[in-house]
């Protein structure tokens, strides 16, 4: 991610969509580097600045020392004398210290060898010969981040922690895992792929493909956005590493051998091919001493030269097929893009400039591509590759649309080329250029809790491709250099001509739905399987059977983890870190003030209580939130409004969320929250724009409203494949509490189906949608929707906030006197399907008919079993139980129970044995629900996964009982795991916001903390028995997301009654 501090839209989006492959799920990288608070005495940075180039420290030569005042840090570039290993240390007074080691891992096929190696590397090493030390360390550490990830041609292993002992422990485990892994064939077969009897204990059961990565990539390629991105990049870079799938294509994964994995590790996981990154306020010398001790026994090697990209001599076209999207308009399912190969990624300034140019062309309602492609409603949204991809050695820029008619492909290409031609002739308004640079500068000032991790991850790919890592940090210099070049006539225009208009390396990529796609995929897998099985002898089949038994026995064997380092419960602080707030109302509205060092940025959240919103409007409220700021207003056309937002704020957005009361699960709050941030000098402009949008949005701007509907439906549909387990848990929990019913209706499959229906009806319903938006706006402006506000700022900015916020609130209050709220509509009494529902098929649920409130106004839980049929090649499953409110004494034990079930039972059974990418238990402390879940689970294992849930409950209920095998050590590990997230550092924008959004006070947080620390082993068994075992099959809810054929077969054969909900 070479020095690109903004608009990594294609790569950032696809990092979340399976293009960067992770050992465990993680949030996509932020688009920008954002600094932590400026310290008063930068001791770590100043101490590092005293180092002199030419100094040798523990086998490393100091090459350069560079102070970066903008970030209050000192960067030091070093090189290991013996091996040539490179090291970047960023010294900064930040307690959240980071380590990262990366390797250049180009591929020559799509077997997924770097991705599988990333998994197997973490399955045991020379000094830590235990099964899966990586996941074991998750419970023996206070890490704020632990992961491993595979990019297009690199692999990296980062972690962060605030504890120096923890840092030393994790660094030792990470380096032993990467430089001295065991790489056992059994682990290769578990994590990569294997042939095994479907029922491993039954020699006569059919042989099938199994493996964690194999199933993970089947799931990744079920995501249409990931599929589009991967296939597009393969055609964009013919002949080289990027023409292959680094994560692995299931059709090729089954060709990889264990020996090939060993050879790949020997070639690439060598110090000569390594880049080490350390960050924070810990001492550099100790880092270097530990690294040198690990790598000094290696001799330097000569690295392979990268395969050059084969350039096109003329425009190329590629067409591929994909499965239909059952949630989208069947007549508009074609996706296409026009892509151009651009600059070398090791040229950091050119990368920055092309990124700014891409933003000017694409971002916001004032951009020419938005006006020509999005505002015209030719398609539903930009295509997945749209934007600047600076991930590869040679970068590329793409412009494209999804949700278009097949016959519009040439029309879209013509529009794209016309926009580029016009931009090269007329250039860009200087105000628009300045707004893009303002966004960049603003993003650099945010006090981000994960600053060091973001730097380490973003610098790695450019560094691996030969870029200067110190140049990466010189952001202010790049901005000023670009401003200087803008005085040059036709600077951006010449870039457009060079990279787009006169560029022969242009690819028109088209992906169209094929109704037979999934069937063909299954047929192909069946043919590959039959070919491999057909080549086996009787002895081979016996060996495979015995290997399956041996693997299962190995998975059952309890590892001796005493060799792994660990923190103890005594390392957990007794008192929670708090962020004090002050309540001072303005204009009769409650206002929560948080005064803290924000680096000159202010954050404002205005929330409206929408609990009493009429039921016929409820399904539309998420769309209302999306539309705020995306339509024209009374005083500003959308392009003008959008430019003003970009010039004066970091963005204005709205969101809607439900939260249970901390004291009672029968009470729920639903809030629409209007948020923005800005430099303190722009406080007045920010409030003015917020008031303009809140009070004067033009809801009859129907063409643009249709654009909002299309984009919302597209995003919702894509989210299901990316986060299917979360949708499954929401669906299962929807019948258990009022809050979770609302959450599912507002952000679950119910909302996905609702938005899909609106988008398919298109122009026919946009007038009706506009009417609903106006009704919601009128209702919110009435006295029925009380407001509350949270402000986070530097103390010096508080007076400016009081003046401007008071004006905004009085403006909104004045509007109430002129607005009449709509009359409540009659609410249907149709019930959500319960566990007694028949197994017949039904349409996706409608939130306006899902009403579990009885005549007394009390919520009555229902326990359903539902299978949602979607275009998926893998399953996402959940089983959910009712817990307790946040302040209840049992909540702490339930939270620890979920951690114990994940780490000591479900991970082993669902991932290691079952072959799913992930699985576990999670306790939603705020909502009072405990869910067991699986992620990218092979369809053949569904029955076993559901049985595993039952066995997990029995397992947990026996802790501390007659079996007496539950140990204090395991409980202590669970406490360390839980406190990792509780004590993770917070960004300035999040300080005090838990209280604002949920009502959980600092006193409640401290009480919860003390209860967590005090939980005993017998308490775990007690809550497992009372809340899980006693609930049984009839008082827990199930949800499965999977393919339609699998759904029909399962529902038909299941002993219990299941409801089939058909989304296809």
Contact (Cβ atoms closer than 8 angstroms) between residue 921 and residue 933: yes
Enter the tokens of residue 934.
Answer: 């699986």
Structure tokens at 442: 């603003």
Instruction: Give the CA distances from residue 628 to residues 591, 625, 633, 692, 766, in Å, rounded to whole numbers and listed in that order.
Output: 22, 6, 10, 10, 16
Q: Which run of H or of E encompasses 1061?
A: strand 1059-1062
Q: Which residues of 489-515 are buried (b: 16+ CB within 10 A; e: fewer)?
A: eebbbebbbebbeebebbbbbbbbbee
User: How far is residue 282 CA from its own chain's centroid?
Assistant: 29
Q: What is d(CA 729, CA 115) in angstroms, rounded to the nearest whole number? A: 28
> Would you state the structure tokens that stand for residue 472, as one six-digit string?
């990466």
Reduce the secondary structure of 494-505 to three states and give it as a string.
HHHHHHHHCCCC
- Number of Cβ within 10 Å of residue 768's Cβ equals 12
Q: Within 10 A of 889 (CB to CB), how many other CB atoms are there?
A: 11
Residues 592/582, Cβ–Cβ less than 8 Å: yes
- Helix, strand, coil percent values for the chain (each to nearest 5): 45, 20, 35
Which tokens belong to 959? Answer: 């802790």
Are the C-beta atoms of 264 and 535 separated by less than 8 Å? no
Residue 182: which residues within 8 A CB-CB, separation 6 or more? 123, 124, 125, 126, 129
The count of C-alpha atoms lying within 13 angstroms of the C-alpha of 800, restricted to the half-sphere facing its C-beta, is: 22
Residues 6+ apart with CB under 8 A from 486: 430, 433, 492
CA–CA gap between residue 810 and residue 801 (Å, rounded): 14
Give the CA-trace dihedral at 735, 741, 746, 752, to 10 degrees. 0
DSSP annotation of 1055 = S
Residues 6+ positions from 1034 with CB-CB distance below 8 Å: 835, 863
- CA dist., res. 747 & res. 727, Å (int): 8
Alpha helices in 921-1016, H assignment, sequence order: 942-957, 968-982, 993-998, 1002-1014
Residue 996 · residue 1002 · CB < 8 Å: no
C-alpha distances in angstroms, 975 versus 699, 896, 907? 50, 7, 17
Type and span of the H or E element at 881: strand 875-882
Question: 277: helix, coil or strand?
Answer: strand
CB 150 within 8 A of CB 247: yes
> Which residues are bridge partners to 381 per DSSP?
402
Residue 471 among the catalytic residues: no
3-state SS string over 777-806?
HHHHHCCCCCEEEEEEECHHHHHHHHHHHH
Positions of E strands within 162-283? 194-197, 207-210, 274-280
Among 67, 81, 86, 118, the active-site one is 118
Q: Collapse the DSSP code of 583 into the 3-class scheme (helix H, G, I; strand E, B; otherwise coil) and give the result.
A: strand
Q: What CA–CA distances, in Å, run from 644 to 31, 306, 650, 674? A: 21, 45, 11, 17
Q: Collapsing DSSP states into helix, strand and coil, what is residue 826?
A: coil
Alpha-carbon span 8 to 354, nearest angstrom: 11
Distance CA 147, CA 25 (A): 8
Task: Name the residues annotated as catalytic.
Answer: 118
């Amino acid at each position: 991610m070479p020095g690109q501090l903004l608009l990594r839209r294609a790569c950032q989006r696809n990092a979340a969509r399976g293009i960067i492959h992770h050992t465990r799920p993680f949030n996509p990288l932020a688009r920008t580097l954002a600094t932590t608070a400026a310290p008063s005495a930068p001791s770590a940075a100043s101490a590092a600045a005293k180092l002199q180039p030419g100094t040798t420290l523990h086998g490393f030569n100091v090459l350069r020392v560079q102070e970066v005042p903008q970030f209050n840090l000192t960067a030091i570039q070093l090189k290991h004398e013996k091996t040539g290993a490179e090291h970047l240390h960023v010294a900064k007074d930040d307690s959240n210290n980071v380590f990262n080691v990366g390797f250049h891992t180009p591929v020559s096929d799509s077997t997924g060898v770097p991705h599988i190696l990333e998994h197997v590397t973490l399955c045991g090493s020379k000094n830590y010969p235990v099964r899966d030390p990586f996941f074991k360390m998750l419970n023996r550490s206070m890490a704020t981040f632990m992961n491993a990830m595979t990019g297009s041609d690199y692999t990296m292993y980062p972690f962060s922690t605030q504890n120096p002992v923890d840092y030393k422990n994790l660094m030792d485990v990470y380096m032993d895992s990467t430089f001295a892994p065991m790489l056992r064939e059994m682990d290769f077969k578990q994590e990569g792929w294997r042939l095994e009897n479907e029922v491993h204990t039954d020699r006569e059961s059919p042989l099938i493909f199994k493996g964690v990565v194999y199933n993970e990539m089947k799931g990744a390629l079920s995501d249409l956005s990931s599929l589009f991105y991967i296939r597009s990049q393969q055609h964009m870079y013919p002949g080289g590493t990027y023409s292959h799938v680094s994560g692995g294509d299931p059709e090729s994964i089954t060709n990889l051998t264990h020996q090939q994995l060993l050879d790949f590790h020997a070639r690439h996981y060598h110090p000569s091919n390594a880049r080490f990154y350390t960050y924070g306020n810990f001492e550099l010398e100790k880092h270097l001493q530990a690294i040198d001790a690990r790598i000094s026994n290696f001799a330097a090697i000569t690295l392979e030269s990268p395969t050059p990209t084969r350039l096109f001599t003329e425009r190329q076209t590629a067409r591929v097929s994909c499965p239909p999207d059952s949630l989208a308009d069947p007549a508009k399912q074609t996706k296409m893009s026009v892509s151009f190969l651009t600059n070398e990624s090791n040229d950091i300034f050119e990368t920055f400039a092309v990124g700014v140019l891409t933003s000017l062309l694409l971002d916001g309602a004032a951009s020419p591509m938005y006006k020509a492609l999005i505002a015209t409603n030719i398609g539903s949204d930009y295509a997945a590759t749209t934007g600047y991809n600076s991930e590869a050695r040679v970068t590329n820029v793409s412009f494209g649309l999804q949700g278009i008619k097949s016959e519009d492909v040439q029309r879209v290409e013509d529009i794209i080329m016309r926009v580029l031609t016009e931009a090269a002739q007329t250039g860009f308004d200087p105000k628009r250029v300045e707004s893009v640079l303002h966004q960049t500068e603003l993003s650099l000032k945010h006090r981000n809790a994960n600053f060091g991790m973001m730097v380490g991850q973003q610098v790695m790919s450019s560094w691996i491709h030969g870029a200067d890592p110190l140049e990466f940090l010189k952001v202010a210099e790049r901005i000023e250099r670009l401003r200087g070049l803008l005085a040059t006539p036709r600077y951006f225009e010449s870039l457009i001509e060079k990279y787009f208009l006169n560029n022969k390396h242009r690819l028109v990529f088209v992906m169209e739905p094929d109704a037979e796609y999934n069937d063909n995929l299954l047929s192909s897998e069946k043919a590959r399987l039959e070919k491999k099985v057909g080549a086996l002898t009787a002895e081979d089949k016996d060996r495979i059977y015995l290997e399956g038994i041996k693997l299962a026995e190995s998975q059952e064997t309890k590892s001796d983890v005493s060799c792994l380092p660990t923190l103890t419960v005594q390392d957990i602080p007794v008192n929670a870190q708090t962020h004090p707030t002050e309540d001072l109302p303005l204009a009769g509205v409650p206002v929560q003030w948080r005064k803290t060092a924000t680096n000159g940025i202010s954050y404002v959240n205005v929330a409206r209580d929408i609990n009493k919103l009429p039921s016929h409007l409820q399904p539309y409220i998420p769309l209302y939130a999306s539309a705020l700021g995306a339509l024209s207003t009374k005083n500003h056309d959308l392009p003008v409004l959008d430019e003003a937002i970009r010039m004066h704020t970091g963005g204005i957005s709205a969101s809607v969320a439900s939260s249970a009361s901390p004291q009672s699960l029968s009470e729920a709050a639903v809030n629409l929250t209007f948020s923005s941030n800005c430099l303190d000098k722009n406080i007045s402009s920010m409030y003015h724009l917020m008031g303009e949008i809140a009070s004067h949005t033009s809801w009859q701007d129907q063409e643009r409203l249709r654009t909002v509907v299309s984009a919302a439906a597209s995003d919702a549909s894509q989210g299901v494949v990316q986060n299917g387990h979360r949708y499954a848990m929401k669906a299962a929990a929807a019948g258990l509490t009022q809050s979770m019913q609302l959450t599912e209706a507002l952000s679950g499959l119910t909302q996905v189906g609702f938005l899909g229906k609106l988008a398919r009806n298109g122009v026919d319903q946009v007038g009706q949608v506009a009417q609903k938006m106006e009704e919601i706006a009128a209702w919110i402006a009435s006295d029925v929707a009380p407001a509350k506000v949270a402000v986070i700022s530097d103390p010096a900015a508080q007076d400016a906030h009081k003046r401007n916020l008071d004006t905004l609130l009085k403006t909104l209050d004045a509007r109430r006197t002129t607005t009449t709220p709509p009359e409540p509509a009659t609410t249907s009494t149709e019930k959500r399907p319960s566990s007694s529902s028949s197994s017949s098929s039904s349409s996706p649920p409608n939130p306006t008919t899902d009403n579990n409130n009885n005549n007394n106004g009390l919520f009555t839980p229902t326990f359903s079993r539902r299978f949602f049929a979607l275009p998926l090649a893998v399953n996402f499953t959940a089983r959910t139980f009712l817990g307790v409110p946040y302040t209840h004494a049992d909540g702490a034990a339930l939270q620890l129970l979920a951690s114990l079930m994940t780490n000591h039972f479900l991970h082993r059974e669902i991932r290691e044995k079952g072959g799913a990418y992930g699985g576990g238990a999670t306790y939603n402390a705020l909502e009072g629900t405990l869910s067991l879940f699986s992620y990218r689970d092979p369809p053949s294992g569904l029955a076993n996964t559901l049985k595993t849930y039952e066995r997990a409950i029995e397992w947990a209920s026996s802790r501390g009982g007659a079996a007496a095998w539950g140990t204090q050590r395991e409980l202590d590990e669970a406490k360390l795991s839980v406190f990792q997230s509780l004590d993770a550092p917070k960004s300035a924008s999040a300080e005090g916001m838990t209280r604002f959004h949920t009502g959980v006070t600092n006193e409640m947080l401290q009480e919860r903390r003390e209860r967590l620390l005090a939980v005993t082993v017998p308490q775990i068994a007690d809550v497992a028995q009372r809340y899980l075992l006693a609930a049984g099959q009839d008082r827990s809810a199930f949800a499965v997301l999977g393919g339609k054929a699998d759904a029909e077969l399962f529902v038909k054969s299941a002993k219990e009654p299941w409801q089939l909900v058909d989304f296809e």
